[in-house]
Amino acid sequence: MKKKRLFTTDYRLGTGYIIAFILLLISYLITLFSNKELIKQTQSVSSTHKVISDVENLLSKVKDGETGYRGYILTKDSNFLEPFQKSIISTNSIFLLLENELKDNKTQQLHLEKMKLLIERKFLLIKNNIDYYNAHNYSYDSFLLDQSYTCKAVMDSIRLMAVDMEDYEKNLLSTRSKKVDNEYAALNSIVITSIVFALIFAALGVVTFIKEKKARHEADKKVVDFQNELTQRIEELDKANKELIEMRREEKFASTGRIARIIAHEVRNPLTNIDLAISQIKEEVNKEKKDLDFLFDMVSRNSNRINQLITELLNATRFSELTFTKTSLNLILDEALAMANDRFELGKIALQKKYSPDLCNVLVDVEKLKIAFLNIIINAIEAMAGKDNAILQVATKCENGKCVVEISDNGTGMDEKELSKLFEAYYTTKPKGNGLGLANTQNIILNHKGSIEVKSKPGEGTRFVITLKIATEI
Protein backbone atom coordinates (compact mmCIF):
# COMPACT_ATOMS: atom_id res chain seq x y z
CA MET A 1 0.00 0.00 0.00
CA LYS A 2 2.84 2.34 0.89
CA LYS A 3 4.67 1.47 -2.32
CA LYS A 4 1.51 2.23 -4.31
CA ARG A 5 1.16 5.58 -2.55
CA LEU A 6 4.78 6.46 -3.27
CA PHE A 7 4.28 5.49 -6.91
CA THR A 8 1.15 7.70 -7.13
CA THR A 9 3.01 10.60 -5.52
CA ASP A 10 6.00 10.24 -7.83
CA TYR A 11 3.66 10.00 -10.84
CA ARG A 12 1.78 13.09 -9.72
CA LEU A 13 4.98 15.05 -9.16
CA GLY A 14 6.39 13.92 -12.49
CA THR A 15 3.17 14.82 -14.32
CA GLY A 16 3.08 18.22 -12.64
CA TYR A 17 6.66 18.98 -13.62
CA ILE A 18 6.03 17.86 -17.21
CA ILE A 19 2.89 20.03 -17.48
CA ALA A 20 4.75 22.98 -15.98
CA PHE A 21 7.60 22.47 -18.43
CA ILE A 22 5.22 22.23 -21.42
CA LEU A 23 3.31 25.37 -20.34
CA LEU A 24 6.50 27.31 -19.80
CA LEU A 25 7.84 26.10 -23.15
CA ILE A 26 4.64 27.18 -24.93
CA SER A 27 4.76 30.49 -23.07
CA TYR A 28 8.37 30.96 -24.10
CA LEU A 29 7.62 30.17 -27.77
CA ILE A 30 4.62 32.54 -27.79
CA THR A 31 6.74 35.21 -26.12
CA LEU A 32 9.46 34.70 -28.71
CA PHE A 33 6.93 34.97 -31.54
CA SER A 34 5.33 38.04 -29.96
CA ASN A 35 8.73 39.68 -29.57
CA LYS A 36 9.45 39.09 -33.23
CA GLU A 37 6.06 40.55 -34.20
CA LEU A 38 6.58 43.46 -31.83
CA ILE A 39 9.98 44.19 -33.36
CA LYS A 40 8.45 43.92 -36.83
CA GLN A 41 5.61 46.31 -35.95
CA THR A 42 8.03 48.66 -34.27
CA GLN A 43 10.13 48.72 -37.43
CA SER A 44 6.96 49.39 -39.46
CA VAL A 45 6.07 52.33 -37.19
CA SER A 46 9.58 53.64 -37.52
CA SER A 47 9.37 53.26 -41.30
CA THR A 48 6.08 55.20 -41.35
CA HIS A 49 7.65 58.03 -39.38
CA LYS A 50 10.55 58.02 -41.82
CA VAL A 51 8.23 58.21 -44.84
CA ILE A 52 6.32 61.18 -43.34
CA SER A 53 9.59 62.89 -42.54
CA ASP A 54 10.95 62.31 -46.06
CA VAL A 55 7.73 63.61 -47.67
CA GLU A 56 7.92 66.74 -45.56
CA ASN A 57 11.58 67.10 -46.42
CA LEU A 58 10.74 66.66 -50.15
CA LEU A 59 8.12 69.38 -49.94
CA SER A 60 10.57 71.61 -48.11
CA LYS A 61 13.20 71.18 -50.82
CA VAL A 62 10.65 72.11 -53.53
CA LYS A 63 9.80 75.20 -51.52
CA ASP A 64 13.48 76.03 -51.27
CA GLY A 65 13.79 75.82 -55.06
CA GLU A 66 10.72 78.07 -55.56
CA THR A 67 12.07 80.56 -52.98
CA GLY A 68 15.40 80.75 -54.82
CA TYR A 69 13.58 81.36 -58.14
CA ARG A 70 11.54 84.22 -56.65
CA GLY A 71 14.66 85.78 -55.12
CA TYR A 72 16.36 85.74 -58.53
CA ILE A 73 13.33 87.36 -60.24
CA LEU A 74 13.27 90.13 -57.65
CA THR A 75 17.02 90.78 -57.37
CA LYS A 76 18.41 89.53 -60.68
CA ASP A 77 21.18 88.03 -58.47
CA SER A 78 22.27 84.63 -59.74
CA ASN A 79 23.25 83.55 -56.22
CA PHE A 80 19.57 83.01 -55.54
CA LEU A 81 19.56 80.24 -58.12
CA GLU A 82 21.90 78.08 -56.03
CA PRO A 83 19.09 76.78 -53.71
CA PHE A 84 17.07 75.97 -56.84
CA GLN A 85 19.90 73.86 -58.27
CA LYS A 86 20.46 72.10 -54.94
CA SER A 87 16.78 71.38 -54.49
CA ILE A 88 16.76 69.49 -57.81
CA ILE A 89 19.60 67.26 -56.62
CA SER A 90 18.10 66.83 -53.13
CA THR A 91 14.67 65.89 -54.38
CA ASN A 92 16.17 63.21 -56.62
CA SER A 93 17.97 61.70 -53.57
CA ILE A 94 14.79 61.85 -51.48
CA PHE A 95 12.83 60.17 -54.29
CA LEU A 96 15.30 57.30 -54.24
CA LEU A 97 14.87 56.93 -50.44
CA LEU A 98 11.09 57.01 -50.68
CA GLU A 99 11.03 54.50 -53.53
CA ASN A 100 13.00 52.06 -51.30
CA GLU A 101 10.83 52.78 -48.26
CA LEU A 102 7.56 52.34 -50.19
CA LYS A 103 8.55 49.36 -52.30
CA ASP A 104 5.97 47.14 -50.48
CA ASN A 105 3.14 49.70 -50.65
CA LYS A 106 1.48 49.95 -54.07
CA THR A 107 -0.81 52.87 -53.12
CA GLN A 108 2.01 55.04 -51.87
CA GLN A 109 4.09 54.11 -54.90
CA LEU A 110 1.37 55.56 -57.14
CA HIS A 111 1.24 58.69 -55.00
CA LEU A 112 4.99 58.98 -55.20
CA GLU A 113 4.96 58.65 -59.01
CA LYS A 114 2.37 61.41 -59.28
CA MET A 115 4.34 63.65 -56.92
CA LYS A 116 7.52 63.00 -58.86
CA LEU A 117 5.83 64.06 -62.11
CA LEU A 118 4.41 67.18 -60.44
CA ILE A 119 7.78 68.18 -58.97
CA GLU A 120 9.54 67.56 -62.26
CA ARG A 121 6.89 69.73 -63.97
CA LYS A 122 7.36 72.38 -61.26
CA PHE A 123 11.12 72.48 -61.73
CA LEU A 124 10.71 72.50 -65.53
CA LEU A 125 8.35 75.50 -65.34
CA ILE A 126 10.77 77.36 -63.09
CA LYS A 127 13.70 76.57 -65.39
CA ASN A 128 11.71 77.75 -68.47
CA ASN A 129 10.70 80.92 -66.64
CA ILE A 130 14.32 81.63 -65.70
CA ASP A 131 15.41 81.13 -69.32
CA TYR A 132 12.57 83.38 -70.55
CA TYR A 133 13.43 86.01 -67.93
CA ASN A 134 17.08 85.99 -68.97
CA ALA A 135 16.23 86.08 -72.67
CA HIS A 136 13.92 89.10 -72.28
CA ASN A 137 16.41 91.28 -70.56
CA TYR A 138 15.19 90.52 -67.01
CA SER A 139 11.75 91.82 -67.83
CA TYR A 140 8.77 90.43 -65.83
CA ASP A 141 5.85 90.57 -68.24
CA SER A 142 2.37 89.04 -68.54
CA PHE A 143 3.77 85.71 -69.74
CA LEU A 144 5.76 85.24 -66.58
CA LEU A 145 2.75 86.32 -64.56
CA ASP A 146 0.64 83.62 -66.21
CA GLN A 147 3.42 81.09 -65.63
CA SER A 148 3.50 82.08 -61.97
CA TYR A 149 -0.18 81.10 -61.64
CA THR A 150 0.59 77.82 -63.35
CA CYS A 151 3.53 77.22 -60.97
CA LYS A 152 1.30 78.02 -58.03
CA ALA A 153 -1.32 75.51 -59.25
CA VAL A 154 1.36 72.85 -59.64
CA MET A 155 2.72 73.68 -56.17
CA ASP A 156 -0.76 73.39 -54.71
CA SER A 157 -1.11 69.97 -56.34
CA ILE A 158 2.26 68.96 -54.87
CA ARG A 159 1.12 70.09 -51.41
CA LEU A 160 -2.15 68.17 -51.76
CA MET A 161 -0.28 65.06 -52.86
CA ALA A 162 2.13 65.42 -49.93
CA VAL A 163 -0.86 65.80 -47.58
CA ASP A 164 -2.44 62.66 -49.10
CA MET A 165 0.76 60.71 -48.64
CA GLU A 166 1.19 61.95 -45.05
CA ASP A 167 -2.46 61.21 -44.22
CA TYR A 168 -2.09 57.73 -45.66
CA GLU A 169 1.07 57.17 -43.60
CA LYS A 170 -0.57 58.63 -40.49
CA ASN A 171 -3.44 56.19 -40.91
CA LEU A 172 -0.91 53.42 -41.27
CA LEU A 173 0.91 54.79 -38.22
CA SER A 174 -2.30 54.76 -36.20
CA THR A 175 -3.06 51.18 -37.28
CA ARG A 176 0.47 50.03 -36.65
CA SER A 177 0.65 51.82 -33.30
CA LYS A 178 -2.53 50.11 -32.20
CA LYS A 179 -1.13 46.81 -33.38
CA VAL A 180 2.10 47.48 -31.49
CA ASP A 181 0.08 48.35 -28.39
CA ASN A 182 -1.95 45.16 -28.82
CA GLU A 183 1.19 43.11 -29.34
CA TYR A 184 2.78 44.73 -26.28
CA ALA A 185 -0.37 44.12 -24.23
CA ALA A 186 -0.50 40.51 -25.43
CA LEU A 187 3.17 40.07 -24.60
CA ASN A 188 2.60 41.50 -21.13
CA SER A 189 -0.38 39.19 -20.69
CA ILE A 190 1.69 36.20 -21.74
CA VAL A 191 4.52 37.19 -19.43
CA ILE A 192 2.13 37.77 -16.52
CA THR A 193 0.33 34.49 -17.28
CA SER A 194 3.67 32.68 -17.41
CA ILE A 195 4.68 34.22 -14.09
CA VAL A 196 1.31 33.29 -12.56
CA PHE A 197 1.59 29.71 -13.82
CA ALA A 198 5.19 29.53 -12.66
CA LEU A 199 4.18 30.81 -9.21
CA ILE A 200 1.23 28.40 -9.05
CA PHE A 201 3.34 25.40 -9.99
CA ALA A 202 6.15 26.60 -7.75
CA ALA A 203 3.65 26.87 -4.88
CA LEU A 204 2.24 23.43 -5.73
CA GLY A 205 5.76 22.07 -5.90
CA VAL A 206 6.65 23.61 -2.53
CA VAL A 207 3.42 22.33 -0.94
CA THR A 208 3.95 18.86 -2.43
CA PHE A 209 7.60 18.89 -1.39
CA ILE A 210 6.67 19.92 2.18
CA LYS A 211 3.97 17.24 2.36
CA GLU A 212 6.27 14.60 0.96
CA LYS A 213 9.11 15.74 3.20
CA LYS A 214 6.79 15.54 6.20
CA ALA A 215 5.58 12.11 5.07
CA ARG A 216 9.17 10.94 4.55
CA HIS A 217 10.13 12.38 7.92
CA GLU A 218 7.26 10.51 9.58
CA ALA A 219 8.16 7.35 7.67
CA ASP A 220 11.82 7.73 8.64
CA LYS A 221 10.78 8.32 12.24
CA LYS A 222 8.65 5.18 12.16
CA VAL A 223 11.56 3.25 10.65
CA VAL A 224 13.93 4.59 13.32
CA ASP A 225 11.39 3.82 16.06
CA PHE A 226 10.91 0.34 14.63
CA GLN A 227 14.68 -0.15 14.41
CA ASN A 228 15.09 1.05 17.98
CA GLU A 229 12.28 -1.20 19.12
CA LEU A 230 13.78 -4.09 17.16
CA THR A 231 17.22 -3.38 18.62
CA GLN A 232 15.74 -3.20 22.09
CA ARG A 233 13.91 -6.48 21.60
CA ILE A 234 17.05 -8.10 20.21
CA GLU A 235 18.96 -6.85 23.25
CA GLU A 236 16.21 -8.14 25.52
CA LEU A 237 16.24 -11.50 23.74
CA ASP A 238 20.03 -11.59 23.90
CA LYS A 239 19.90 -10.73 27.59
CA ALA A 240 17.18 -13.33 28.17
CA ASN A 241 19.20 -15.87 26.19
CA LYS A 242 22.30 -15.13 28.24
CA GLU A 243 20.28 -15.38 31.45
CA LEU A 244 18.82 -18.66 30.21
CA ILE A 245 22.30 -19.94 29.40
CA GLU A 246 23.48 -18.87 32.88
CA MET A 247 20.47 -20.56 34.47
CA ARG A 248 21.17 -23.73 32.53
CA ARG A 249 24.81 -23.58 33.51
CA GLU A 250 23.87 -23.07 37.13
CA GLU A 251 21.30 -25.86 36.94
CA LYS A 252 23.83 -28.08 35.22
CA PHE A 253 26.44 -27.07 37.76
CA ALA A 254 24.03 -27.73 40.64
CA SER A 255 23.00 -31.05 39.10
CA THR A 256 26.64 -32.00 38.61
CA GLY A 257 27.32 -30.98 42.20
CA ARG A 258 24.48 -33.14 43.51
CA ILE A 259 25.69 -36.09 41.47
CA ALA A 260 29.26 -35.47 42.64
CA ARG A 261 28.16 -35.33 46.29
CA ILE A 262 26.11 -38.53 45.89
CA ILE A 263 29.04 -40.28 44.20
CA ALA A 264 31.44 -38.92 46.83
CA HIS A 265 29.17 -40.17 49.63
CA GLU A 266 28.66 -43.58 48.03
CA VAL A 267 32.37 -43.99 47.19
CA ARG A 268 33.88 -42.58 50.38
CA ASN A 269 31.95 -44.90 52.68
CA PRO A 270 33.37 -48.05 51.04
CA LEU A 271 36.79 -46.38 50.83
CA THR A 272 36.68 -45.67 54.56
CA ASN A 273 35.77 -49.25 55.27
CA ILE A 274 38.54 -50.44 52.94
CA ASP A 275 41.08 -48.20 54.69
CA LEU A 276 39.98 -49.45 58.11
CA ALA A 277 40.06 -53.07 56.96
CA ILE A 278 43.53 -52.69 55.43
CA SER A 279 44.84 -51.12 58.62
CA GLN A 280 43.37 -53.94 60.70
CA ILE A 281 44.75 -56.61 58.38
CA LYS A 282 48.23 -55.04 58.44
CA GLU A 283 48.27 -55.28 62.23
CA GLU A 284 47.18 -58.92 62.33
CA VAL A 285 49.29 -60.42 59.56
CA ASN A 286 52.91 -61.43 59.90
CA LYS A 287 55.10 -58.34 59.69
CA GLU A 288 57.88 -60.25 57.98
CA LYS A 289 55.93 -60.81 54.85
CA LYS A 290 57.24 -57.94 52.76
CA ASP A 291 55.15 -58.84 49.70
CA LEU A 292 52.02 -58.23 51.70
CA ASP A 293 53.34 -54.80 52.79
CA PHE A 294 53.83 -53.88 49.14
CA LEU A 295 50.24 -54.85 48.33
CA PHE A 296 48.93 -53.03 51.37
CA ASP A 297 50.79 -49.86 50.29
CA MET A 298 49.46 -50.12 46.74
CA VAL A 299 45.86 -50.42 47.99
CA SER A 300 46.40 -47.49 50.34
CA ARG A 301 47.89 -45.26 47.60
CA ASN A 302 45.04 -45.92 45.17
CA SER A 303 42.50 -45.39 47.93
CA ASN A 304 44.10 -42.01 48.71
CA ARG A 305 44.13 -41.15 44.99
CA ILE A 306 40.42 -41.92 44.67
CA ASN A 307 39.74 -39.83 47.77
CA GLN A 308 41.78 -36.92 46.34
CA LEU A 309 39.88 -37.03 43.03
CA ILE A 310 36.58 -36.99 44.88
CA THR A 311 37.75 -33.99 46.92
CA GLU A 312 38.76 -32.12 43.75
CA LEU A 313 35.40 -32.95 42.16
CA LEU A 314 33.57 -31.62 45.21
CA ASN A 315 35.66 -28.44 45.16
CA ALA A 316 34.84 -27.95 41.50
CA THR A 317 31.09 -28.50 41.87
CA ARG A 318 29.99 -26.93 45.12
CA PHE A 319 29.53 -23.39 46.38
CA SER A 320 32.37 -22.72 48.75
CA GLU A 321 32.79 -20.06 51.39
CA LEU A 322 34.57 -16.91 50.13
CA THR A 323 36.68 -14.35 51.93
CA PHE A 324 35.85 -11.02 50.25
CA THR A 325 38.41 -8.25 49.91
CA LYS A 326 38.00 -4.97 48.04
CA THR A 327 40.83 -4.83 45.54
CA SER A 328 41.83 -3.88 41.99
CA LEU A 329 40.97 -6.39 39.28
CA ASN A 330 44.04 -5.27 37.31
CA LEU A 331 46.25 -6.17 40.29
CA ILE A 332 44.72 -9.68 40.56
CA LEU A 333 45.34 -10.25 36.84
CA ASP A 334 48.97 -9.11 37.18
CA GLU A 335 49.56 -11.58 40.04
CA ALA A 336 47.95 -14.42 38.05
CA LEU A 337 50.10 -13.57 35.01
CA ALA A 338 53.22 -13.46 37.19
CA MET A 339 52.47 -17.00 38.36
CA ALA A 340 52.54 -18.14 34.71
CA ASN A 341 55.59 -16.09 33.75
CA ASP A 342 57.86 -19.14 33.26
CA ARG A 343 55.30 -20.65 30.87
CA PHE A 344 55.32 -17.45 28.76
CA GLU A 345 59.09 -17.58 28.48
CA LEU A 346 59.26 -21.30 27.67
CA GLY A 347 56.48 -21.08 25.08
CA LYS A 348 57.85 -17.79 23.59
CA ILE A 349 54.42 -16.21 23.96
CA ALA A 350 53.98 -12.43 23.67
CA LEU A 351 51.78 -10.80 26.31
CA GLN A 352 49.66 -7.75 25.48
CA LYS A 353 47.86 -5.96 28.31
CA LYS A 354 45.13 -3.38 27.70
CA TYR A 355 43.99 -2.36 31.15
CA SER A 356 41.40 0.34 31.69
CA PRO A 357 42.90 2.98 34.05
CA ASP A 358 39.50 3.91 35.51
CA LEU A 359 38.45 0.32 36.22
CA CYS A 360 36.44 0.10 39.47
CA ASN A 361 37.54 -2.06 42.37
CA VAL A 362 35.77 -5.36 42.99
CA LEU A 363 34.85 -7.18 46.21
CA VAL A 364 36.21 -10.72 45.67
CA ASP A 365 38.08 -13.62 47.20
CA VAL A 366 41.49 -12.69 45.81
CA GLU A 367 43.13 -16.12 46.02
CA LYS A 368 40.24 -18.02 44.48
CA LEU A 369 39.76 -15.46 41.68
CA LYS A 370 43.49 -15.62 41.01
CA ILE A 371 43.18 -19.42 40.61
CA ALA A 372 40.27 -18.91 38.17
CA PHE A 373 42.27 -16.47 36.01
CA LEU A 374 45.36 -18.70 36.19
CA ASN A 375 43.38 -21.72 34.92
CA ILE A 376 42.19 -19.70 31.89
CA ILE A 377 45.70 -18.34 31.23
CA ILE A 378 47.28 -21.82 31.41
CA ASN A 379 44.64 -23.24 29.05
CA ALA A 380 45.35 -20.39 26.58
CA ILE A 381 49.12 -21.00 26.80
CA GLU A 382 48.65 -24.73 26.18
CA ALA A 383 46.34 -23.98 23.21
CA MET A 384 49.14 -21.91 21.61
CA ALA A 385 51.93 -24.47 22.23
CA GLY A 386 54.34 -24.64 19.30
CA LYS A 387 52.66 -21.77 17.42
CA ASP A 388 54.72 -18.98 15.85
CA ASN A 389 53.80 -15.43 16.81
CA ALA A 390 51.71 -16.65 19.75
CA ILE A 391 50.00 -13.74 21.50
CA LEU A 392 47.95 -13.63 24.69
CA GLN A 393 45.84 -10.50 25.14
CA VAL A 394 44.44 -9.48 28.52
CA ALA A 395 42.07 -6.49 28.63
CA THR A 396 39.86 -4.86 31.26
CA LYS A 397 37.09 -2.30 30.96
CA CYS A 398 33.96 -0.91 32.61
CA GLU A 399 30.75 -1.71 30.76
CA ASN A 400 27.15 -1.18 31.88
CA GLY A 401 28.23 -0.64 35.48
CA LYS A 402 30.28 -3.85 35.60
CA CYS A 403 33.93 -4.84 35.40
CA VAL A 404 34.76 -6.91 32.32
CA VAL A 405 37.90 -9.02 31.77
CA GLU A 406 38.77 -10.39 28.32
CA ILE A 407 41.49 -13.03 27.90
CA SER A 408 42.16 -13.88 24.24
CA ASP A 409 44.62 -16.18 22.49
CA ASN A 410 45.38 -16.97 18.84
CA GLY A 411 45.68 -20.70 19.42
CA THR A 412 43.94 -23.70 17.90
CA GLY A 413 40.43 -22.68 18.93
CA MET A 414 37.42 -24.94 19.50
CA ASP A 415 34.37 -26.06 17.63
CA GLU A 416 30.75 -25.92 18.84
CA LYS A 417 30.86 -29.43 20.31
CA GLU A 418 33.96 -28.66 22.38
CA LEU A 419 32.48 -25.35 23.55
CA SER A 420 29.29 -27.03 24.74
CA LYS A 421 31.29 -29.37 27.05
CA LEU A 422 34.03 -26.92 28.08
CA PHE A 423 32.95 -26.49 31.71
CA GLU A 424 31.87 -30.11 32.32
CA ALA A 425 33.78 -31.87 35.06
CA TYR A 426 36.35 -34.41 33.82
CA TYR A 427 35.94 -33.24 30.19
CA THR A 428 39.36 -32.57 28.68
CA THR A 429 41.20 -32.82 25.36
CA LYS A 430 44.65 -32.88 27.08
CA PRO A 431 46.48 -36.20 27.44
CA LYS A 432 47.37 -35.52 31.09
CA GLY A 433 44.45 -33.25 32.07
CA ASN A 434 41.80 -34.17 34.63
CA GLY A 435 39.09 -31.87 33.22
CA LEU A 436 38.49 -30.02 36.50
CA GLY A 437 40.40 -26.75 35.91
CA LEU A 438 37.75 -24.83 33.95
CA ALA A 439 34.95 -26.47 35.93
CA ASN A 440 36.60 -25.07 39.08
CA THR A 441 37.02 -21.68 37.30
CA GLN A 442 33.32 -21.56 36.47
CA ASN A 443 32.52 -22.51 40.08
CA ILE A 444 34.61 -19.60 41.39
CA ILE A 445 33.06 -17.05 38.97
CA LEU A 446 29.52 -18.21 39.78
CA ASN A 447 30.30 -18.05 43.50
CA HIS A 448 31.16 -14.37 42.92
CA LYS A 449 27.77 -13.87 41.22
CA GLY A 450 29.58 -13.16 37.97
CA SER A 451 29.36 -14.64 34.48
CA ILE A 452 31.81 -16.29 32.11
CA GLU A 453 31.42 -16.58 28.34
CA VAL A 454 33.61 -18.23 25.75
CA LYS A 455 33.83 -17.47 22.04
CA SER A 456 35.99 -19.60 19.80
CA LYS A 457 36.41 -20.90 16.28
CA PRO A 458 38.79 -23.58 15.05
CA GLY A 459 42.05 -22.00 13.87
CA GLU A 460 41.03 -18.50 15.06
CA GLY A 461 41.75 -18.72 18.78
CA THR A 462 39.59 -18.38 21.88
CA ARG A 463 38.29 -15.44 23.93
CA PHE A 464 37.08 -15.69 27.55
CA VAL A 465 34.87 -12.85 28.83
CA ILE A 466 34.44 -12.64 32.61
CA THR A 467 31.99 -10.12 34.06
CA LEU A 468 31.98 -9.15 37.74
CA LYS A 469 29.96 -6.63 39.68
CA ILE A 470 31.73 -3.58 41.04
CA ALA A 471 32.39 -3.42 44.77
CA THR A 472 29.39 -1.25 45.67
CA GLU A 473 26.95 -3.65 43.97
CA ILE A 474 28.04 -6.92 45.64
Q: How many other CB atoms are there within 10 angstroms of residue 17's CB atom?
A: 12
Quote the DSSP letter at residue 359: P
Question: Which has the higher per-residue pLDDT, 238 or 255?
Answer: 238
End-to-end CA distance of the chain: 54
| Banded pLDDT at 61 (limits 50, 70, 90) | confident
Task: Tell me how far apart the alpha carbons of residues 50 and 98 are, in angstroms, rounded to a whole number.
Answer: 9
CA–CA dist 97, 116 (Å, integer): 13
Contact 290, 418 (CB under 8 A): no
Q: What angle do CA 392, 397, 401 make, to 5 degrees?
A: 145
Q: What percent of the chain has pLDDT over 90?
A: 10
CA–CA distance, 282 with 259 (Å, rounded to integer): 34
Q: What is the pLDDT, as a whole number, of residue 474? A: 43
Rounded-to-integer distance, Cα 393 and Cα 440, Å: 22
Domain boundaries 319-473, CATH class = alpha beta
Residues 446, 465: Cα–Cα separation, whole Å = 13
What pLDDT does residue 463 have? 94
Contact by Cβ (8 Å): 451, 464: no
Q: What is the pLDDT of residues 69-94, one digit of tens each?
A: 888 888 888 888 888 888 889 888 88
Beta bridge partners of 398: 403
Alpha helices (H) along 76-141: 81-101, 106-135
Q: What is the distance between the alpha carbons of residues 317 and 263, in angstroms, rounded to a whole number?
A: 12
Q: Which of 172, 235, 250, 220 is nearest to 443 (CA)?
A: 250
pLDDT digits (tens, 9 = 90+) for 140-182: 888 888 888 898 888 888 889 888 888 888 887 788 778 777 7
Least confident range of 34-38, 87-91, 291-295, 331-335:
291-295
Instruction: Tell whether the model's pLDDT for residue 276 goes beyond 50.
Output: yes
If phi > 0 it is left, if psi is from -120 to 50 it is alpha, else beta; for residue 15 that is: alpha
Long-range contacts of 155-160 (CB under 8 A, 24+ apart): 155/62, 155/66, 155/122, 157/118, 158/59, 158/62, 158/115, 158/118, 158/119, 158/122, 159/59
Where is pLDDT greater, at 340 or 259? 340
Q: Is the pLDDT of residue 472 over 70?
A: no
Q: Say what the pLDDT of residue 225 is.
A: 83
Question: Is the model's pLDDT at 359 over the cut of 60?
Answer: yes
Of the candidates 424, 421, 224, the residue with the CA atom closest to the CA atom of residue 317: 424
DSSP lists the bridge partners of residue 451 as 467
Q: Please state the domain extents for the chain.
A: 2-216, 319-473
Q: Cα(111)–Cα(51) distance, rounded to whole angstroms?
A: 12
User: Worst-scoring range by mean pLDDT, 234-238, 282-286, 288-292?
Assistant: 288-292
Q: Which region among 190-194, 379-383, 426-430 has the lowest average model confidence (pLDDT)?
A: 426-430
pLDDT tens column, 22-40:
867 776 677 777 667 667 7
What angle, rounded to 10 degrees, do the helices at 142-284 and 2-75 form? 160
Where does the pLDDT of residue 334 fall: very low under 50, low under 70, confident under 90, or very high at 90 and above? very high
More confident residue, 259 or 16: 16
- DSSP-derived letter for residue 411 is S
CA separation for the pair 201, 91 (Å, rounded): 61
| Mean predicted lDDT score pLDDT of the chain | 78
pLDDT of 408 over the 90 cut? yes
**pLDDT score, position 373:** 92
Query: By the 8 A CB rule, do 186 and 34 touch?
Result: yes
Q: Is the pTM of this model over 0.75?
A: no
Cα 239 from Cα 453, distance rounded (Å): 13
Of 186-190, 266-270, 335-339, 460-464, where does mean pLDDT reach its minimum? 266-270
> What would the mean pLDDT of 200-221 be, rounded to a whole number?
75
412-434 tens-digit pLDDT: 888 888 888 887 766 676 655 56
What burial class does residue 57 get, using C-beta atoms within 10 Å of its C-beta: 0-12 exposed, 13-18 middle, 19+ buried? middle
**Contact at 8 Å (CB) between 370 and 466?**
no
Q: How far apart are CA 376 and CA 87, in angstroms?
A: 128
Please say if the pLDDT value at position 392 is more than 80.
yes
